[in-house]
């Protein structure tokens, strides 16, 4: 049984069908790529899986359970967390505090213990979990900096650390390589392999073909809201439909 | 060490201050203490980014409820005050269902409408609310006999001490909440609700929680008010008072817990004490209005930013104290 | 039957001043993106202008009304320059500043005129009697006429003149309008003057009909908010339609039950709209 399964997934916005009858599966422990030209429906698919949109039709199953149409926080609590494209962070809070928000699910804050001060142990555990997530991404030395003041690359890493802080089964990464130079891309690829090594399954929406080809065990390619092709990196790289979909675009398939 | 000394001085000052004031000034002190609780509870609400205009009416819910419980059911006043606070929580919970479908400006107007409806219900129904004339001859707090001293809570000084204890305890609880993961969650909901939701936070539930807790403390302040002045009517909680609370919060700043308290104290001293001495107290709305405008134009971060700058300047060696840093 | 007709006439009168006030508020919000909480006090200022000019200084009534219109229009210009322009990037700050201005105007009214209610004698005692029991004072009719004339004039101005077009462009997309050479400052000034003047003229004409006191703005602003929320916050047509609808509801409920119940009904209506369809009846994309 696949960790994540998507069947007949469809999204209609008024008269426009953004995603049409999409089906694919993500195996546990894999890094799975979701690619396609602009407007292919990748982000919409992403949003449906994470609960940001309610699908017009179809099913999303996580760990065998139906999660279709659940609210984003409910999906997150089941161990399927997502990141956001632009540097979406709690800019006013410190780096550590950002990560602590990520521990919300595992260490649910209780108002009663907060008022009486009986939550010491819980808070320490939550803080430790947050610190582990920061450490994973090499952000520990910035723990008390204001998140909004961080360099771009660090902000990206922090976004992922917040997601990792909930100790998820699977992470949905929304274009993590955007705007990165080759150095940063290599560093981020290392981090992703590290994620995979620590047991987290990854579904990755991305335009950067170098990263996709280098990282992904399996790739699903979309076009015009539909499934175009699916397979390993080699299969996709040489797939005639995929090449044609990207023809004339500015991508080079590495 | 310095901190402990500072607290001791503050406590000594708080205990000593009523004795240097005239009778009418002592009354103002009682009201100020109650208002400190009111504005601090408002600030708790703004932690989640919600600015409600129903807050003073919810204070009134606590006042009316406590007055009615003590009168009709003969409940001991301190207990009825607690029940009044809980009633305010319950009303807030009910209101949260329609109101939290709205955001931003709509929430502001919607909360205003909800509050005004409640207020008009008090005005319209003489049974049990007393109609436009309100409730009179509300029970006062029962005397506290400690053997060596009897606190007669009819006296402003004694009532002030009572309020000091209640308000102090409440502020402590609010401070604890703010410093805890609960407070952090409130802030996360405020700054980036989508990101918070992606981290598993049920944003609507947490907004409601902040609203309910803040309302409970507002209700408590209302009960304290009712059992002191002995009469309340719908005009005691009308929109003008809400505007004053808003002014204290904005002038003081809401980034810290003490900001709005500072605003309330400065403006109350300015208005009720200084102006009254000069006999210009009728100018209160004028002063408040001008201060509010000046604050928005020239000091948008509030008085607390002045305090923060001053304390930073006085401690150059220490790292910048951050108001929201969660400590274990 | 007579009671229904009479109530209907009262509702028409109410719709007139509500429409003037609401349209002014929507105009200000539409062009400047800011909610003017002091709008009720602008109404009050118009009423007090008539108190000062007509009741105290014996200026002829219509001249006093014109004076009120100009005076409040200028107040609007003051607000624009002193409050809304510096806070253009901060609409919430503008809202708060307008609350501050509300307090200032109220306090000034108390200081200049005292807290007591003023009674302005009617400028005309004439009454149009449809029957023994159905009567419409001319004083009220003037309000209706003024509303029709001024709102039609505004409509023509916005639709048929270049300046009006500039205002509408500014409301739709201020940046694009600026790129076209439309001065934001100028459109803001015009919108503010007209919006305030409409409230002021409503207040001026109402002065002989209601009790003039420093707190009269309170119920005015509430009514205005109810109307613009129900009508749709960015829509001028919505404001007029909603004013008529609300005026009828409010007047009939007041007549057959009482004023407090009518207010509760109005607020509940607004709350329902906010819950179900916040953009109101004629909802357009709003800048709130």
ipTM value, please give it: 0.87
Count Cβ atoms below 10 Å from residue A153 Cβ, excluding itself. 15
Q: Inspect the structure and tell me whether chains A and B have 3 or more CB pairs less than 8 Å apart.
A: yes
Count Cβ atoms below 10 Å from residue A193 Cβ, excluding itself. 14
Predicted confidence band of residue C54 (pLDDT cuts 50, 70, 90): confident
Q: Which of B120, B247, B293 sits opposite C101 (nearest CB)?
A: B293
CB contact under 8 A, B109 and C229: yes
CB contact under 8 A, B124 and C264: yes
Chain A positions contacting chain B at CB under 8 Å are 50, 52, 71-73, 76-77, 81-84, 88-94, 97, 100-102, 104-105, 107, 109-111, 114-115, 117, 119-120, 122-124, 126-127, 144, 146, 162-163, 165-166
Residue A25 contacts residue A212 (beta carbons within 8 Å): no
pLDDT at B226 over 90: yes
Q: What is the mean pLDDT of residues C185-214?
A: 91
Predicted confidence band of residue B158 (pLDDT cuts 50, 70, 90): confident
CB contacts of A123 in chain B (<8 Å) are: 180-181, 328
Q: How far is B133 from chain C (nearest CA, A)?
A: 14
Predicted confidence band of residue C284 (pLDDT cuts 50, 70, 90): low
Beta strand A57-62 pairing with A170-174: unpaired
d(CA B223, CA B85): 7
Q: Is the pTM of this model over 0.80?
A: yes
Residue B131 contacts residue B123 (beta carbons within 8 Å): yes
Count Cβ atoms below 10 Å from residue C114 Cβ, excluding itself. 11
pLDDT at C153: 92
Q: Which of C103, C226, C288 sits opposite B243 (nearest CB)?
A: C103
| Residue entry with tokens 């008539």 | C50
Q: Which of C83, C108, C222 sits opposite B293 (nearest CB)?
A: C83
Q: Which of B195, B196, B209 sits opposite A111 (nearest CB)?
A: B209
The count of C-alpha atoms lying within 13 angstroms of the C-alpha of B111, restricted to the half-sphere facing its C-beta, is 25
Nearest CA in chain C to B241: C103
Residue C147 contacts residue C19 (beta carbons within 8 Å): yes
pLDDT at B126: 87
pLDDT digits (tens, 9 = 90+) for A187-218: 889 989 999 999 999 999 988 888 888 889 99
Q: What is the CA radius of gyration of chain A?
A: 19
Contacts of A among chains (3+ CB pairs under 8 A): B
**Interchain CB contacts (distance < 8 Å): A and B:** 112
Provide CB contacts within 8 A for A35, sequence distance 6+: A42, A205, A206, A207, A209, A212, A219, A220, A221, A222, A236
Higher pLDDT, B101 or B283: B101
CB contact under 8 A, B185 and A84: no
Chain B positions contacting chain A at CB under 8 Å are 173, 176-177, 180-185, 187-188, 191-192, 194-203, 209, 213, 322, 324-326, 328
pLDDT at A247: 66
Q: What is the average pLDDT value for chain B, to the nearest integer?
A: 87
CB contacts of A43 in chain B (<8 Å) are: none
Predicted confidence band of residue B316 (pLDDT cuts 50, 70, 90): low
Predicted confidence band of residue C278 (pLDDT cuts 50, 70, 90): confident
Predicted confidence band of residue C288 (pLDDT cuts 50, 70, 90): very low
**Stretch among A206-210, B243-247, B270-274, C63-67 having the lowest mean pLDDT:** B270-274
pLDDT at B117 over 90: yes
Quick one: tokens of C187?
Answer: 């459109």
CB contact under 8 A, A102 and B197: no
pLDDT at C126: 78
pLDDT at B327: 36
Q: How far is B271 from chain A (nearest CA, A)?
A: 34
Q: Using CB atoms and an 8 Å cut-off, which of residues 228-247 of chain B contact chain C?
A: 239, 243, 246-247
CB contacts of C261 in chain B (<8 Å) are: 124
Using the Cα atoms of residue B291, residue B296, residue B299 and residue B304 in order, give the sign of their dihedral: positive
CB contacts of B292 in chain C (<8 Å) are: 96-97, 99-100, 103
Quick one: tokens of A97?
Answer: 């505090």
pLDDT at B38: 96
Cα→Cα distances A82→A47, A75, A98, C248, Å: 9, 10, 15, 52
CB contacts of A169 in chain B (<8 Å) are: none
Q: What is the mean pLDDT of residues B9-13?
A: 88
Q: Inspect the structure and tell me whether chains C and B have 3 or more CB pairs less than 8 Å apart.
A: yes
CB contacts of B213 in chain A (<8 Å) are: 111
- Cα angle: A204, vertex A60, A48; to 5 degrees: 60
CB contact under 8 A, C261 and B124: yes
Mean pLDDT in order along chain A per 10 residues (254 residues): 89 89 91 88 91 91 91 92 85 91 88 80 89 91 89 87 92 88 88 91 88 89 89 86 70 50
For B250-286, letters b (16+ CB in 10 Å) and e give bbbbbbbbbbbbbbbbebbeebbbebeeeeeeebbbb
Residue B42 contacts residue B222 (beta carbons within 8 Å): no
Adjacent-strand bridge partners of A172 = A82, A203
CB contact under 8 A, A115 and B176: yes
d(CA A21, CA A27): 20
């Amino acid at each position: 049984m696949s960790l994540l399964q998507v069947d007949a997934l469809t999204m209609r916005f008024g008269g426009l069908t953004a995603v049409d009858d999409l089906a694919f599966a993500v195996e546990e422990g894999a890094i799975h790529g979701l690619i396609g030209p602009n407007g292919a429906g990748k982000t919409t698919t992403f949003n449906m899986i994470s609960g940001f949109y309610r699908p017009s039709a179809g099913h999303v199953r996580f760990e065998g359970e139906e999660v279709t149409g659940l609210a984003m926080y409910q999906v997150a609590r089941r161990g399927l967390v997502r990141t956001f494209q632009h540097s979406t962070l709690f800019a006013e809070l410190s780096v550590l505090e950002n990560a602590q928000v990520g521990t919300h699910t595992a260490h649910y804050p209780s108002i009663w213990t907060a008022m009486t001060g009986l939550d010491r142990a819980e808070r320490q555990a939550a803080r430790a979990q947050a610190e582990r997530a920061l450490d994973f991404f090499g952000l520990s030395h910035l723990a008390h900096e204001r998140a909004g003041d961080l360099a771009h690359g660090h902000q990206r890493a922090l976004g992922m650390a917040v997601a990792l802080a909930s100790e998820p089964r699977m992470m949905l990464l929304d274009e993590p390589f955007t705007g990165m130079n080759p150095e940063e891309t290599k560093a981020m690829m290392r981090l992703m392999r590290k994620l995979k090594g620590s047991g987290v399954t990854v579904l990755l929406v991305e335009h950067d073909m170098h990263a996709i080809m280098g990282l992904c065990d399996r790739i699903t390619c979309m076009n015009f809201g539909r499934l175009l092709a699916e397979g390993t990196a080699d299969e996709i790289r040489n797939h005639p439909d995929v090449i044609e979909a990207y023809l004339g675009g500015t991508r080079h398939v590495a | 060490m310095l901190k402990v000394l500072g607290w001791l001085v503050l406590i000594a000052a708080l205990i000593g201050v009523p004795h240097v004031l005239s009778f009418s000034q002592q009354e103002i002190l009682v009201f100020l203490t109650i208002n400190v609780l009111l504005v601090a509870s408002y600030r708790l609400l703004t932690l989640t980014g919600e600015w409600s205009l129903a807050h003073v009416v919810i204070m009134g819910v606590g006042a009316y409820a406590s007055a009615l419980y003590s009168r009709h059911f003969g409940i001991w006043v301190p207990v009825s005050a607690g029940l009044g606070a809980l009633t305010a929580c319950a009303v807030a919970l009910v209101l949260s269902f329609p109101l939290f479908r709205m955001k931003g400006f709509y929430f502001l107007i919607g909360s205003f409408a909800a509050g005004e409806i409640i207020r008009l219900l008090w005005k319209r129904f003489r049974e049990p609310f007393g109609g436009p004339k309100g409730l009179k001859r509300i029970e006062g707090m029962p005397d506290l006999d400690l053997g060596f001293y009897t606190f007669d809570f009819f006296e402003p000084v004694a009532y002030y001490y009572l309020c000091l204890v209640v308000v102090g305890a409440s502020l402590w609880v609010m401070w604890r909440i703010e410093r805890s993961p609960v407070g952090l969650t409130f802030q996360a909901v405020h700054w980036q609700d989508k990101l918070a939701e992606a981290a598993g936070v049920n944003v609507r539930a947490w907004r409601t929680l902040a609203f309910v807790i803040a309302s409970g403390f507002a209700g408590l302040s209302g009960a304290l008010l009712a059992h002191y002045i002995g009469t309340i009517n719908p005009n005691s909680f009308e929109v003008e008072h809400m505007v004053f609370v808003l002014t204290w919060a904005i002038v003081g700043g809401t980034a810290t817990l003490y900001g709005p308290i500072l605003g309330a104290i400065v403006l109350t001293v300015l208005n009720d004490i200084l102006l009254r001495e000069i006999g210009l107290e009728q100018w209160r709305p004028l002063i408040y209005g001008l201060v509010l405008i000046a604050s928005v134009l020239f000091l948008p971060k509030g008085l607390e930013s002045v305090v923060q700058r001053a304390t930073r300047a006085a401690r150059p060696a220490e790292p910048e104290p951050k108001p929201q840093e969660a400590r274990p | 039957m007579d009671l229904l007709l009479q109530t209907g006439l009262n509702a028409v009168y109410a719709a007139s001043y509500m429409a003037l006030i609401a349209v002014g508020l929507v105009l200000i919000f539409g062009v400047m993106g800011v909610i003017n909480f002091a709008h009720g006090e602008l109404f009050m200022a118009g009423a007090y202008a008539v108190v000062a000019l007509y009741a105290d200084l014996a200026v002829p009534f219509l001249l006093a009304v014109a004076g009120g219109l100009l005076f409040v229009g200028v107040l609007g210009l003051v607000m624009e320059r002193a409050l809304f322009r510096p806070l253009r990037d901060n609409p919430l700050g503008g809202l708060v500043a307008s609350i501050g201005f509300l307090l200032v105007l109220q306090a000034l009214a108390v200081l200049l005129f005292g807290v007591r209610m003023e009674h302005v004698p009617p400028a005309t005692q004439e009454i149009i009697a449809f029957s023994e029991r159905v009567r419409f004072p001319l004083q009220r009719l003037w309000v209706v006429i003024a509303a029709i004339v001024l709102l039609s004039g505004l409509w023509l101005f916005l639709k048929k003149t270049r300046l009006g077009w500039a205002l509408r462009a500014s409301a739709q997309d201020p940046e694009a309008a600026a790129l076209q050479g439309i001065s934001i400052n100028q459109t803001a000034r015009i919108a503010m003057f007209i919006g305030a003047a409409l409230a002021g003229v409503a207040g001026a004409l109402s002065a002989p009909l209601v009790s003039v006191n420093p707190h009269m703005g309170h119920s005015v602003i509430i009514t205005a908010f109810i109307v613009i929320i129900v009508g749709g916050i960015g829509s001028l047509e919505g404001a007029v339609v909603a004013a008529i609808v609300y005026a009828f509801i409010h007047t009939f409920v007041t007549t057959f039950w009482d004023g407090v119940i009518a207010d509760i009904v109005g607020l509940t209506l607004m709350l329902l709209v906010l819950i179900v369809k916040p953009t109101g009846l004629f909802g357009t994309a709003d800048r709130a």
